[in-house]
Structure 1
Amino acid sequence: MSCTDAVFSSQSRGPPQDCRVPLKHLDYDYIGKCKDVKYLEKICTVLRSGDEGIYPHLIKFCEDHLEKLDPRSQVLRKEKPVSTAACLPNDEWIQIADELKKWQEETKANETSLKEQSMFDALVFENLPPVRGSNCSVPPCQASVKKVERTLSKHTLPRDYPEWDKFDVKKECEKLEGNVDKKDAPAMINQGHPKIKTEVDASLLTQQEKLLLANREKEKGNEAFRANDYEEAVAYYSRSISIKSAAAAYNNRAQAQIHLQHWHSAMGDCESVLELEPGNVKALLRRGTVYNHMGNFQMAVEDLRVVLREEPQNAAATKLILEIEKKMKECQPEQQSRGKEILIQEVEEKNDSDKTKAKETARPVEPSQPVGGEESSAAPVERGDMGNTQKKPHSRGDGGPHSEPNNSHHGHRRGKGASADKYRVTQESKEKVANGSGKRGYTASAPADSSRKDSPVGGKAGETVNLDAPCGALPPPLSRLKNEGNLLFKNGQFADALEKYSQAIQGFTDSGINSPEDLCILYSNRAACYLKDGNSQECIQDCTRALELQPFSIKPLLRRAMAYDSLERYRKSYVDYKTVLQIDTSVQAANDSVNRITRLLIEEDGPEWREKLPEIPMVPLSAQQHRREETPSAELLQARAEKAARDTERKAEVCFTAVKQEGNDFVKKGQYQDALGKYTECLKLKPEECAVYTNRALCYLKLDRFTEAKHDCDAALKVDPTNKKAFYRRALANRGLKDYLACSADLQEVLQQDPNVQEAEKELEEVTVLLRQSLANAFLAKPRRTVPITEVEGDEETPGTAQSESSPRGEEPINLQPTNAYEYGQALNAARCSGNTAGCAALLASTPPEKLPHFLSTQLDGSTISFIMQALDSHLLEKDPDLVYQHLNHLHAADRFSVVLMLLEKDERRHMTQLFEHLSAVQSAEFNKNDIQNLANKYI
């Protein structure tokens, strides 16, 4: 359709109603110049409508121009047809079909699971308890009936005024109350729950459904437990356990049983949990609670200690164990009074208050040895009313009271200003105690255990305590005071004991005795009394005096550390505890306290806490002699040495095996250089291992290091003279070194040991041929070397030089026997300058391949390499291709070779490529095409 026709059509029809666009604007020139996006959209709409005709190219031109101006134009949007199998590739369509099929199967599976869930919900709805209220509960069925009745009840018409005048309020109220009584169902008072089945038949359910149902029943039990309805909680926990046994359900049911005081049932549930999960903290805590209520305090304490080891911050366990220990202390006097009858009685009683005090002090005590003696004393019976129920640290030392706080004294601590004046007693009480058996007597009637070291004071049980026993170098009066203080301390009378030790110290000072050991013990014992009463400041002073008399005495150090600890002077306490551990590492109290104080100091001072500590003194060896072990005997030393040797041998064997295996793995992968290192490590561990030498020789052969391979084979044959591998690999090394005669001898040795080794037989055939050729070449080479010497005009020719037979007349003679790199370079330059490739070939034939890089190190350039390639290709390749291969295999190792190779010209590279092509066409047992290709990659 032409433009004229379009104009005629437009005039006849008129412009479109929705887009008023002149016909002259529907043109390529106008559309190409137009920049108004909105107007272009109208033009594109008109063209697409077809009212002015269909012009596909013009429409495409308009759309492209509009896309350049506004790529996001809505007019450019086109509806994409629905994709069908014909629109998509076959693989994509198969993937879509598979996904649709998978979705259909999942939908069917979900429908099946929903049906099963409905059956599951019906099973759960069975035995559903009534709705719980505050005072009463109404069954769900009754509640629904009431709702229906209210809905269906008809409303009465409103009353008029005459009816309201006749309305009897009392009668209507009675009527209303009667209707309520008749129609409404009575409320069910919560006097007891309807019985809930404790077992659920879940035999038809899957494991996942059982787990879901068991968790649901357990949650119902938790809800009942939170509502303090423990019987219902037990019922639901039982239902959960009947479906699937779980430690959590048993634990929860045990807690509910504890609230119901069903101790035996709770104990059974705790045991069930510990069978499923040994060491379960909750089960141990609840079993400890049950033991406490059943009166088994010892078992309860054991369980609670396990809980505190796992969770030191468990408040419930801490509180419960304190209560149990308190009960045990209250029961302790009754248990001790059954077998021990040592009583401390006041003879003179003045008033009722003294009688009461005497009754309190007249309690059974355990007999013990004087604290200041040389033997270690037993733990005293401590009085609970004094607040000193701490454990005895495991320590050794100079004697003195042993019943000391373990870690902490914060619970019963006195003020810092306390002094010894409060411990003073009247003169009358002093006389009573000083007289021993006078006013107050000490009788030991309890049976003694002969196996114990801490025997009672006075010897055997049943005898009167001897307070006049000697104590070191102290005189009898002071020894008596010390013994009385020891006994009073052991009986828990710390104030009286402190007074006795003070009198002994004063008497010691007045008498002028020179015995620092005894005075140290007295100060240490009095410090223990101060520590027991919480007077930490006085304790520190006495311990310091004791340490001035006897440095590094363990008990004063330990007591001063505890006193510092109680005053929260943790740095000084840490130093004393560390000093104690230098003297004796077995003091458990010091170990525990160091760990605890370390955590406190880290929290207080941060990572640099050690820098803020005072200096820790070094304990001399003399103070540690009691911890030294005895000198071991010769038999013990020999046994230790043998054991150490066996351990060393075993470790070396394990290491040797591992390293050797790594080397074998490297060989399998073709990484021979790495394998060499591993085998060398093996030889350091076991120098006489034959297999390692042969394996390393194989690696040397693969790397063309024939000399090293031969040395390893020689070493292997020294260890095992009949080793076939060593002979065979030495033969290959000799072949690489051109020593065909030695190679033939080794191969014959291998075949003599085992004639079935085909590789050795094949090698022997090839080496025999090579040996014959080498002998023939040596025989033919001798006449060539005899060159006649002729005189030319009186000049003498230099010995060792001759004109090559292949050289034409007039060419400079070449030295075929150079002795160093300079002479070799002169001979090569002479041949290259005259173009004597045959002379160069003769020079190369007389040169060992391994010496070629050394001779060419100073003469290497592009023209020299090209000339050598021509000589090898034109003269030497046909005679001895193996020698050509060997020369090429060593030539690339020369200095500056890689630099010279990059500077070669095109013709020089062509000579090199031609040589490798000719060499690859040669059939040889020394190399194959792969070897030639690998070698060519280093040149081309």
Structure 2
Amino acid sequence: MVVNTTKSESLRAKYDLDIEQLDYKYIGQCTKVKTIENILRVLRSGQEGVYPDLVRFTEERLRTLKPSSALLRTEQPATALRFLDSKERDELLSDLTEWKQEVSAADAELKSSESAKEPADQQLPPVRGTVQLRSATVGERKPEPEQKPARIASYDYAAWDRYDVEAQLKLLDESDAPAAPPQPAVQPPSDPAIDDQPPVEGLSAAERSALALREKQKGNEYFRSGDFSRAAVYYTRSINASPTAAAFNNRAQANLKLGKYGSALMDCGAVLRREPNNVKALLRRGIARQMNKDWIKARLDFQRVLELEPNNPQARQHLGEVEKAIIGSETKRSKVLIQEVDSMEEEGPAARPPAAGSSQPRRWSTFEFMREWRCARRSERSAAAMAALLRSVDPDQLTEVLGAELDSALLSSVIRCVDEVMLAQDGPQRCHQLLQRLTDARRFHVVKLLLDARDRQRLQSIAERLWRRGVDVTALERSFLS
């Protein structure tokens, strides 16, 4: 096979790839989406040779890491009308005819109705930059340009004798005086109070929609100018004319700017009742809840936004702020609880609650467990601290406690705890039960693919040590290592 080496080297240099990266093993272990996409571009170009199996393997790997990648999209050519069967063609032509009739009827209704026009006091100003031409009458003469006074010749001594220096200086002073500022073309209304109920009596549905759109556009203009109060009023007028999700959403943003977080929450709720997956409404409701210090509900809104748009920067920023606030509030609450317990009289061993690291199982919520897990992982004796935390979880409730929080870092830490601490202290049956319960957790079959070579070596060592102690590890090896 002849390969164009010059183009191949320039293409790999463009993507900064080595020839060793075009391999099944590297592609299967790589977790960087950008690198997998660049490898797929090089393989599809054919400059390194034609490897259809490797291309398909790379596409499957990319589909696992990022299903929405643009490289996985396939072109679907538009089907011509002549290729449709008679039934589909008749349905398509019928729908097109009905749509034309509806558009024509709505257009005729708007043109024929005189009430669609705005009253005289609501006429909009002329478009900026336009010039109104005035028709010239017969015999009308154009104004002659102003003639400047002739300059006095240097040799005309008689004219210099008649020259009035004081008068000329006065004229110069008048010309240098600052001109009055130009008046705006449209004066704002003297009364800032605006009726939030537009005139909608006798208007058809199409006319109300057109009026609502105009009122919303006025609100947008005031919002861009920084007048959020008037923007909210015009959004209210738009809603009263014809309620739409966009008008509620814009009024929620204006209320956030004005600090009216309760009103913003109600507007976002109105949007979400119409469009449950509206990202802007979810984000704004989360911000309103965050400002009201409703941290838990705000976190749920930001997490939902990130499920719909994983790369939304505002949601990521606010979610980080909410997480810090939750951790801070939990820390303050735990300090208060410790002070209250220390101030009480000891009534016996049963008076104190069991410690988080004790071997006695306790009921954990996902948030509490993950918070303690992160603290244990950052401690100096992280393996022992994480092992003590795992002992406090009932193995039968492990899947419920983890919820959807299982990732490659957590799975790797559990494997390390079992290998370094728990096999020696807790016995083979407890370790086997813990690992077996992990296989039932959500996303386990995806997360196990992200384990590195060191974790797989630990798993093989654990399986061998369990087998030597008489534990059947066939199902465990099939779940983790297959």
TM-score of the superposed pair, with normalisation by structure 1: 0.28
What's the TM-score, normalizing by structure 2? Answer: 0.49
Larger Rg: 1
